Amino acid sequence: MQNLGIAITGSGSAAPETSLHNEELSQLVETSDEWISTRTGIRQRRLALPTESLSSLAAAASRQAIASAGITASDIDLILLATSTPDDLFGTATKIQADLGATKAVAFDLTAACSGFVFGLVTAAQFIRTGVYQNVLLIGADILSRWVDWQDRRTCVLFGDGAGAIVLQSNQSDRLLGFALKSDGTQNHYLNLAYQGTAQEILPNVKITQGTYQPVTMNGKEVYRFAAQKVPEIIDKALFEAQLTVDQIDWLLLHQANQRILDTVAQRLNIPSHKVISNLANYGNTSAASIPLALDEAVREGKIKPNDIIATSGFGAGLTWGAAIFQWGR
Ligand code: ACO
């Protein structure tokens, strides 16, 4: 009989060596450690060196995830890369496939900003539940330092670079207990990394645009309001699907955007702070990487143990948001 359940059997993460503390940022823009840490909880972030790439960080995280799952790269059927900052707009997942030597795997990118990891988790699960694939590598990775305006104090203090990865495998019992995903494009303008070009006439009466992507713009207040309202709601929905109650959750693992969002969501759900996983003080907001990075740290620290029930939620640009309830390990 085919195993049509899913288990998350391994995790890994990688962050650049270079870190930038809040005090250092105050040499760049008018800000202070006090402002940043009280409003966001962030104390430092990691920044990718010019010699580092999204694929190099992602491959490093992936190697750890594959090793901890006890498989080899050649066992992987599918590589999903959740990112908004690929090395190549045509896709970076195939570069990672080559770096890992995952010769059998089909590989492609998936973009859902800070919800990318949760959207990727659910996407990966569909391929396993339908019996198409048995071993999926899901990576969340972003290098937002490439795309923030380092003169804009409203955004540059928030983001950092990193990568996290997990291995999902077919399993007799299904460890993805429930999920819910949502999008609302009417609020798209609150958070953007948008292409902007100027019109060029390449032949008489033939006009195209040429340009590039513009730095991140964000309406912080609206994004905060959106997250504080929608994240508890969607976790409730995923819990309902899982037929679980809040008190059965061992860990709340939210997209690491801002400590105030983490605290508000936990409070609204009545989840005590010792169950809330947070590492954003050290990494800032690493977008699609933040959940797998925090997950991997918590697993390696021995916080998350086999069979623990984790409620995770990603939220961000799009706007997109989603939640998944899963049990760690086989
Ligand atoms: N240092 C010092 N002052 C600053 C800074 C800074 N880095 N940034 C803004 N300010 C100033 C503003 O200019 C403003 O000054 P003014 O009153 O003279 O105009 C004042 O601080 C207050 O600014 P607000 O934007 O109103 O600050 P707020 O309290 O809303 O905090 C923050 C801003 C932290 C961004 C908050 O809105 C927030 O957490 N929003 C959620 C954002 C988020 O998490 N985004 C990412 C989620 S989605 C994703 O991950 C991609």
- DSSP string over 174-188: --EEEEEEEE-GGGG
CB 101 within 8 A of CB 181: no
Ligand 1, atom 41, lies closest to the CA of 224
Residue 1 pLDDT more than 70?
no
pLDDT of 2 reads: 75
Instruction: Tell me the mean pLDDT in the region 215-240.
Output: 97
Tokens of 192: 């953007």
Q: What distance in Å separates the CA atoms of residue 7 and residue 325, rounded to the nearest whole number?
A: 12
Expressed in angstroms and rounded, the spacing between residue 49 Cα and the centre of ligand 1 is 26
Place of tokens 């819990």: 239
pLDDT of 161 reads: 98
pLDDT of 330 reads: 87
Catalytic annotation present for 114: yes
Catalytic annotation present for 255: yes
Average model confidence (pLDDT) across the chain: 97
Q: Which residue in the list 22, 114, 135, 282 is annotated as catalytic?
A: 114
- Where does ligand 1 bind, in terms of residues with CB under 6 Å? 31, 35-36, 39-40, 113-114, 153-154, 157, 191, 218, 220-221, 223-224, 257-258, 260-261, 285, 287, 316-317
Q: What distance in Å separates the CA atoms of residue 176 and residue 66, rounded to the nearest whole number?
A: 19
- pTM, two decimal places: 0.96
Q: What distance in Å separates the CA atoms of residue 230 and residue 320, rounded to the nearest whole number?
A: 10
Catalytic annotation present for 156: no
pLDDT of 206 reads: 97
pLDDT of 63 reads: 98
Expressed in angstroms and rounded, the spacing between residue 224 Cα and the centre of ligand 1 is 9
Q: What distance in Å separates the CA atoms of residue 129 and residue 324, rounded to the nearest whole number?
A: 15
Q: Which residue in the list 135, 171, 255, 258 is annotated as catalytic?
A: 255
- What's 214's DSSP letter? P
CB 93 within 8 A of CB 109: yes
Ligand 1, atom 42, lies closest to the CA of 220
pLDDT of 238 reads: 98
- Please name the residues in contact with 193: beta carbons below 8 A apart, sequence gap of 6 or more: 84, 147, 213, 214, 215, 216, 217, 317
Residue 90: other Cβ atoms inside 10 A: 8
Ligand 1, atom 44, lies closest to the CA of 257
Tokens of 196: 């902007």
List pLDDT tens digits, range 176-189.
999 999 999 999 99
Expressed in angstroms and rounded, the spacing between residue 220 Cα and the centre of ligand 1 is 5
What percent of the chain shows pLDDT beyond 90?
98
List pLDDT tens digits, range 25-74.
999 999 999 999 999 999 999 999 999 999 999 999 999 999 999 999 99
Q: What distance in Å separates the CA atoms of residue 241 and residue 114, rounded to the nearest whole number?
A: 23
List pLDDT tens digits, range 102-143.
999 999 999 999 999 999 999 999 999 999 999 999 999 999
CA dist list (Å): 149 to 58, 111, 146, 202, 264: 24, 21, 9, 31, 28
Beta pairing partners, 11: 166
Q: Which of 258, 328, 300 is nearest to 114 (CA)?
A: 258
